[in-house]
Structures are given as structure tokens and as C-alpha cells.
Structure 1
Amino acid sequence: MSSTPSETPSPRRRLSREERLHQLLEVAWQLIGAEGTEALTLGRLAEAAGVTKPVVYDHFVSRAGLLAALYQDFDARQTRLMDAALDSSEATLASRAAVIAHCYVDCVLTQGREIPGVIAALASSPELAKIKAEYEAIFIDKCRNALAPFAAPGTLAPAGLRAMLGAAEALSHGAAIGEISREQARDELFENIVSMVERSARRGAAPA
């Protein structure tokens, strides 16, 4: 009588460093969604991801590093979406303003209520606030370049662009917590952007 050899499970494939980072970030987002930003620690992340603490510390070093990585992950996805949408948009103010408004709001809502908590946590230290400011400057420059053809040269002032960013954050947060709808956030931000550019164009056309 012949015996059937027992089946042995295939060894689990070891994740590359990049794959492990992606896994840890995904688990971190899930933890924030379920338990809030305050509950996110490197130890809790290791437990939820099923890895040892040294693995998590090797990737992020500290909680501040983890928060910075989460914001960078969010910003990278937002940038890819906006770049693709701008490349395929019509060369009109309405089209470019709609892309900026829709992409900003949609990225926040896709991430859900987790991103407002991460953004708020970035204010907890000068180091994290600096990282946020750097990414904001990149976003503002991207918007300036997309909108500049529809304004008089040099009239898209930092104050107006900063006001636009503030509106984008506030409206997206309102939509994320259910205070307003996605469409209301998009529409209001669109009007804010168009109004800012049109004011700039009028200033450029005014006689000296």
C-alpha cells in the first residue's frame, strides 16, 4: 500500500523593503480610520501588521517619522491624480479650476476621515510643520503654473493662492466629516479659484 506524501505549505515570500513599507502604510491608514490618529504608535502598528517592532522602527524611526510618511504617501497620490488630470484637461480657466477643485476634494474623501487627523498631527512639532509647509509650497506652485495663463503676468499673488489652499483644506474637511457634500465642496472651491484668477486678471488690466 503506497502512502501519499503530506503536503507542506509553501514558505511565505519575504517582502521587499518597498513592499513592506507599502504594507505598513496601508495598515497605518486602517488603524487611523478605526481608532483615530492619537491611537497610532509604532508598537500598535507592529502589532496590527503582524511584524516585530524593530521592523517598524527600521522604516519610520519615530511616530513623527510615521506621520510624515503618511502625509507624503497622501501627497504622492494627490500629485499623480492632479498631474494626469491637468495633462488631459482643456486649456481654459474653467477646466483647470475644475481639475484642481475636484482632485483636491476627491483625494481627501478617498482617504476618508484619516487625513484630517494626520494633517492636524503635523502641527505637533516644528519638524512636521516644516514638512507640511514644503508640500504646500509645491502644490501652490503647481496651481500657479496651471492658472497663470488666465491671469495677467505676475498677478497671481501668494496671498490669493494661500487663501485658495485654506479654502481647499476647510471645504475638504467639511466634506470628510459630512458637514457638506462632495459636490458642495467641489463647487465652492471651483468658484473660489475662478474668482481669484478673474480678480488677478482685472488688476492686470487696470490702468496704472
Structure 2
Amino acid sequence: MSSHSKTPAASKDSPRRRLSRQARWRQLVDVSWKLICDEGTDALTLGRLAEEAGVTKPVVYDHFGTRNGLLAALYQDFDARQTAIMDAAIAASKPSLKDKARVIASTYVECVLTQGREMPGVLAALNGSPELVAVKRQYQQAFIEKCQKMLAPFCGYQEISLASLWAMLGAADSLSHAAVAGEITAGQALDELLEIILAMVKRNK
């Protein structure tokens, strides 16, 4: 994650003109992640983000609207990176149940670990707002659908139940965050999640 230095007030207008809307959004999201990493989620406000990014407050408000909008954008950014990593690993994996299950386990755990202590604060904020809970649920459902499709060839005629998939996701969250907190190792989280996935598929054969 790149760091961004503050831009002197006299030169703020020029960088804003040079960046496209997409590039500015990317810059603001990167600065937000760095601010959370350095000072925690509570320090992230739209005003503080504008100061750290070297832009005016209206620029930040135009992109995110509210703090909840900014947190939702951070969750979407994390999910997009997680999805890209998982898709690449799926494409490179062997066509066996253990390999596919290991892709799910390893990419989930590793993506959460990559964000370190950044994600727990964002997720806590997401859980505190009905608007943001809906955003989180949307991405959870997409992840579950991806896993269901990926594991379907190994389940015979019986589809993996949604209850089982939600239980798997709950385990993935708990194990990943326990690894972030240092309560277990990343390897232990991965191995346990792998066994949970394999057992889930076995029950549905």
C-alpha cells in the first residue's frame, strides 16, 4: 500500500486536475487504508482523509458522501482484491477436491492477514450500520455462490446446503481473525478451515 505525503495548500488544485476521477478514488482509498493502519479506524473521518490526501473536503464528499460511504468503499476494495486473488488461484489449481478446498481456505485466510489489523475495525464499523451490513451481506453471498459452484462437481447429485456454506463462512471469519490477533498461526487457521470444507463436501456426497 503506497504512502502519500501531504500536498502544500498552494499546489492542491493542480494535482486534482491531473488525476481522473477513478485515479482520485484510488488515491483516497489508499490514503484511507494507510490512515487506518497507522492510527486505527476511529481516526478515519472525511475531513482527516482530505487533509492527509492533500485535497479539499468537497472532493472527498463528492466521492463518498458520508463516512459510512467511505467505509463501504473500503470493504468493496478489500473484497475486489480478495476476489481477484481467489480467481487467479482457482484458475491455477488442479481439478481435485483437496486442491479446490485449499484454494478457498488459503486465499480467505491470506487475504484477511494481508490487511492485518485494518479489516477488523472496518468490519466492526460495517456491522454497526444497517446500510453497511447490507453491503457486507452482498459480498458474503457472492463468496458463498462462488464456493458452491466451485465445490459442486465433488458433491454428486446433492447440492451443498446454504446452511453449511454459511457455517463455513463463519468459521473462515473466526479463524482468520484469530490468526490476525495472534491467537493461532496462519497455518493452523488454514488447516482447520481446509478440514471444515472437506468435511462439509463429504456430508453432501
TM-score by length of 2: 0.90
Q: Aligned equivalents of 1:152 and 1:32: distance in 2?
A: 45
Map Cα deviations across residues 117-157 of structure 1 (whole Å, 9 max, x no partner). 11111111111101111110000000001111111323300
Instruction: Name 2:141's counterpart in structure 1.
Output: 137
Structure-2 separation of matches of 1:46 and 1:77: 24
Distance 2:183 2:43 in 1: 24
Q: Percent identity?
A: 61
2:126 is matched with 122
Aligned mates of 1:126, 1:118 — CA distance in 2: 14
| Aligned ranges 1:84-163 → 2 under 5 Å | 84-163=88-167
**1:43, distance to aligned residue in structure 2 (A):** 0.6
Matches within 5 A, 1:1-208: 14-201=18-205
Structure 2 segments unaligned to the other structure (5+ residues)? 1-13
Q: Secondary structure at the match of 1:152?
A: coil
Q: Which has the larger radius of gyration?
A: 1
Structure 1's unaligned 5+ residue stretches are: 1-10, 202-208
For the aligned residue pairs, the C-alpha RMSD in angstroms reads: 1.2
Offset at 1:14?
1.4
**CA-to-partner distance for each residue in 1:21-66, whole Å, 9 max, x for gaps?**
1111111011111111122110111111111111110100000100
Corresponding pairs, count: 191
Q: Matches of 1:144 and 1:176 in 2, distance apart?
A: 26
- Cα distance between partner residues in 1 of 2:46 and 2:153: 46
> Counterparts of 1:61 and 1:171 in 2: how far apart (Å)?
34
Runs of at least 4 residues off by over 3 Å = none
